A and B are shown apart, each in its own frame.
Chain A
């Protein structure tokens, strides 16, 4: 390790880093703007100047930009040097000649990197007495507010939006003192990663527009570590509350998962928590009741009836387990058909076998080749798509710089050398996707053909099966891909359930297994539909078909349905049949939907913001989310608390205490072996540091003694949290909490999100104490053939029948996030995609209404002609109004 001298003290630093990273890692406060750990150095802002000396005898030295200089062994530098300090102060002074003094009314105030840096450099007096330049701001859509006057020209926004995330509609215009960052004209920022601008921008040019609707300063938020609920990736978030409403979601750094960023669905989808549509009171037969009446009624419906439970892919492990515990393992079902469940079972079987490791987002970013089979990850797991983009770009950069001494962090130089060089990425999907433009090869095919191509690739890498009836063209493509993959060392294979096709999953495994046999280090990622789909799949409940048969057979069944709208995933006819046969229907959920309407007993469940829970992401990573605030409404409780109470009713201990989170988790670990280790996802509720809990409120939290004075002039006693080591107060341990329990990032002098620097072992590296979450698929327990080899038949069009497949949308396909106005506004109108040939055959044109007939249901949508779609497939927007309960993956009839 190189040894460097900072102000005459020696330090060991990591080789290959730049001086700024090294100084920040060592804990020095060195100001910067344009540098970002995820985006490298460009040396534009001149803020991070330090003095470097030739050797220990050199006393004059020279000023350099620390972000543009690599560390060298024996390097002598000074941060405290007078000239360097004056230089840094002067840079801020220049920036401030045009920056408005509107901090008190600026949304960024209190979490502003520019404020922090200004204080850090000591600039406090304006000598420049001319006018400040002003701009016209733009309307940028429902998520981002624009205020160009505050701009300090660091270029981070365009570097993130265009270079990092591949956006096209944000750019920089003009030059000199009138540089403008914005769109070509007013309009919604199209990238699904636009929300990150609010955190990437070091000042208040781009701010969270949803927060503006109910603005609160960062220091006034009660916040807790949380986990995103809107897809299976499991990005780490921080959720903030004030006055009983959820105010915002910001990124919570996790080096292995989402790093510094979030997608807009995750960042702005939170408003469902504050929705008018929340269930606020228990209801019996659609009549609101109080708790006594509810308990009394529950006693009659729970005892003397046979109980079945329907587990939920969007409810926590705790709630699903409490349900399983209530009804018994043999009576625990999932709200999906057998075919879909078999897909998820296939995935857990493969991951359980431990043959191929699961790829975290970090591993995807670092992969030197990516193969995507049949999953439109841009829409089903946006952050994974962003990770794939990094793999393609970084690998391209690495290849281009291999023979030069250029370090990876030198973004400008790497970009110059890289030009159009990209890493290898094959995107094999049913239709075109937003990732196509960076793919080395795009192939659009029917699911069975995607699988066949996959098997052919596997066979080229490691000949193991006799391929019969394969077209020459497919074999040639497979050979090209296989040859490229054999040049790589750590490729990642990504697939998922969106094709509703088991062979696709098996083919993905075979490619990975073949690569492993060829001496590579492959990893695999399976995208599943919901935030806890993986957890539910691991519980191995029975399919919904079995539940329907059960209620048809048995007359006296009480069904307990956990946090899901059955009508979304199952045909309405089947759900109607099921519900009509149940003697009693108990539904626990947070928002009203078609299923809650049918409930005989409806119980208000908490959302992620009002309760504790653990979710298991696509990588089998168990991650804990914490209750953010105690809702005024005492009926809103975690489903697992309600379900445990129901269990007490059955066992005749109705007056017992509610169980604590720790006991639920430890029962889960004991009862279901596959979840062993899940308790390590977060510290237990008894955890404390020097006898102190971790406060959810910053020490500057204001108004505590007065904010509820309209109700009671005495300050209420803080609620004790029996479920976690976090407290609902400002008091408590002020140091760095365990990495899985960080309620907000703050360190003295660092109020902005950039305070995360101080929580990392090294800049851009793991959090101190390791990254949050435990991966449950680490032990190889299951059996798995070496290769599946069983490739399907070639996809054949059928007479008058079409294969129904889903088209997911970042905005709209997720059930909960559409209750946020901004997300709802960006959801597309549902449509039906047909190939040009099929459209011609049916004699329909773009926009014609066509009806889909499947089993008992009929759905009608306008046609969209999709050039890239194969004949014989019909594509329908998933999850949008009117597309619920469609039998994806089945053959349907179409009629004009």
Chain B
């Protein structure tokens, strides 16, 4: 059975304690994020069951929530996840081309991960940065005013970062 490390467990308890007695289920979203960070960037069934046990709710209640939000990955993802916005304004500014370019560069389709486990391509709905369209989210940062050169740059950046860390 998988468990949080001691530190993460403390963090989880702190989140759970934010909510009044009997409303522990409210801690579900932050706990899922915590689990996603802790367990390799995605949520497998044992991880979700573990969260259910922490909150004393039925596993099915966790699945319901985890499958609803696109921010939770239910399949393994690469080290870097490109979440490209494809909502109206970005689309008008050429997000379709950006997506096609990434597909071609990485040789993967939307929802897939490169064989080396480095990149995952996802499309998402509006991220609230329409003024900088087309854009995508990479980890915790927005990458804006995308074009082919910028995409090349970002891919390079990710690769070199990975090389440094290995």
The residues of A with any CB-CB pair to B shorter than 8 Å are 168-169, 171-175, 180, 183-184, 420
Contacts and interface: CB of A to CB of B under 8 A. Distances in A.
Nearest to A420: B22
B60 A171 contact: yes
9 contacts: A168-B60, A171-B60, A172-B64, A174-B67, A174-B68, A175-B68, A175-B69, A180-B67, A420-B22
A153 to B, nearest CB: 13
Interface in B37-73: 58-61, 63-64, 67-70
Contact of B61 (A171, A174, A420): A171
By DSSP majority rule, is chain B's interface helix, strand, loop, or mixed?
helix
A183 B60 contact: yes
Contacts of A173: 63-64, 67-68
Given A168-B60, A173-B64, A175-B67, 8 more contacts: A171-B60, A171-B63, A173-B63, A175-B68, A175-B69, A183-B60, A184-B59, A420-B22
Given A173-B63, A184-B63, A420-B22, A168 B58 contact: yes
A169, A171, A172: residue with the most chain B Cβ atoms closer than 10 Å: A171
A113 to B, nearest CB: 25
Contacts of A184: 59-60, 63
A44 to B, nearest CB: 15
Nearest to B64: A171
A184 B48 CA distance: 12
Contacts of A172: 64
Contacts, number: 24
Nearest to B69: A175
Contacts of B69: 175
Interface of B: 22, 58-61, 63-64, 67-70
A180 B61 CA distance: 14
B90 to A, nearest CB: 17
Nearest to B74: A174
Contacts of B68: 173-175
Lowest 5 A-B CB distances belong to which pairs?
A173-B67, A174-B67, A184-B60, A175-B68, A171-B64
B87 to A, nearest CB: 12
A183 B5 CA distance: 31
A174 B67 CA distance: 4
Contacts of A420: 22
Contacts of A169: 60
A80 B128 CA distance: 40
Contacts of A180: 67
Nearest to A419: B23
Nearest to B48: A184
A172 B60 CA distance: 9
A169 B59 CA distance: 10
A172 B69 CA distance: 13
Nearest to A178: B67
B39 to A, nearest CB: 19
A168 B59 CA distance: 10
A204 to B, nearest CB: 23
B71 to A, nearest CB: 11
Contacts of B70: 175
A405 B68 CA distance: 33
A303 to B, nearest CB: 67
A180 B60 CA distance: 13
Contacts of A171: 60-61, 63-64
A853 to B, nearest CB: 42
B20 to A, nearest CB: 11
A175 B61 CA distance: 15
A420 B22 CA distance: 9
B123 to A, nearest CB: 12
A173 B72 CA distance: 13
A151 to B, nearest CB: 15
A168 B64 CA distance: 12
Contacts of B61: 171
Nearest to A180: B67
Nearest to A172: B64
B58, B60, B70: residue with the most chain A Cβ atoms closer than 10 Å: B60
B70 to A, nearest CB: 8
A172 B67 CA distance: 9
B75 to A, nearest CB: 13
A180 B74 CA distance: 15
A464 to B, nearest CB: 39
Nearest to A168: B58
A734 B11 CA distance: 69
A183 B70 CA distance: 20
A184 B58 CA distance: 11
A361 B64 CA distance: 33
A155 to B, nearest CB: 12
B65 to A, nearest CB: 9
A168, A172, A183, A184: residue with the most chain B Cβ atoms closer than 10 Å: A184
Nearest to A183: B60
A584 to B, nearest CB: 59
A184 B67 CA distance: 11
A175 B64 CA distance: 10
Contacts of B59: 184
A171 B68 CA distance: 12
B126 to A, nearest CB: 13
A570 B70 CA distance: 62
A183 to B, nearest CB: 7
A174 B68 CA distance: 4
A709 B22 CA distance: 67
A175 B68 CA distance: 5
A172 to B, nearest CB: 6
Contacts of B67: 173-175, 180
Contacts of A175: 67-70
A173 B63 CA distance: 7
Contacts of B58: 168
A174 B69 CA distance: 7
A420 B60 CA distance: 20
A141 to B, nearest CB: 16
Nearest to B58: A168
B119 to A, nearest CB: 23
Contacts of A174: 67-68
A117 to B, nearest CB: 27
A189 to B, nearest CB: 12
A180 B67 CA distance: 10
